[in-house]
Amino acid sequence: MSEAIVITPVKDSPETTDKTIEAVCQSDCDIEYSVFNDFSQPKTKQLLLEKQKRWNFHLVHLEDVTDNPSPNYKLVLETAQKMAIEKKLPLIIVESDVIIKKDTLSQLLKLAKSKENAGLVGAITVDKQNNYNFPYTFEKIKNNHTVETSHSLSFCCTYLSLPFLQNFNFSELSSKKDWYDVTISRQAKKAGFKNYLAKGIEVLHLPHSSRPWKNLKYSNPLLYYYKKLIHKRDRI
């Protein structure tokens, strides 16, 4: 019996997407896995078709269901929420620049069950040197603790509980935004749920692989914020 609905939104970055799908499909727990292709280039689309032949996951090309240009994270979240509620299962998001371990999902599920009134539970992200990296650089001390957090949880590798999914309808999310981790983290707390960051569950994060312009935030902040504000990119 499936233990969770797992989704991966994909926008190009075929090298990391390849690794993400391989890792999720080799998870040690029973999941229902869906990959949402958000108007990727032909190279990525071909990769996804090849991966689907090898592994058992549901592939959705958003170009077949909407004319709205990428990013379509709101549509993906709405669709995933409906799937989870219909199946009465929690939702886990694993983004396409994240590589999980074989037991990551089972650890998240076990941990979430042990925590009081969990809304979101996020696995902490590390770089190739095993240091905490974006978006959890605010955690300075490495340990295996699970901490209740007031910080927003990124959707890099994050569990969303069924009670929370049943409490807040993602159709209420603003269509003027591109990303929703901040809004959903806050909404969970507003509704009385607790959000947890699992420092004992580490996943490799290769940030901004599908949106390399975002690396300007570190190398050229002025140009980054120009693109963000003038071109209305990366609205959260």
Domain boundaries, the chain: 4-230
User: Does pLDDT of 184 surpass 80?
Assistant: yes
User: Does pLDDT of 51 surpass 50?
Assistant: yes
Location of structure tokens 């219909």: 86
Determine the average pLDDT of the residues in 172-178. Answer: 93
Q: Please report the pLDDT score of residue 236 as a whole number.
A: 47
User: Does pLDDT of 226 surpass 90?
Assistant: no
Q: Which CATH entry fits the domain spanning 4-230: 3.90.550.10, 1.10.10.10, 3.40.710.10, 3.30.479.30?
A: 3.90.550.10
Helix, strand or coil for residue 46?
helix
What does the pLDDT look like over 101-137, one tens digit per residue? Answer: 999 999 999 999 999 899 999 999 999 999 999 999 9
Cα separation, 8 vs 157, whole angstroms:
10
> How much is the mean pLDDT over the chain?
92
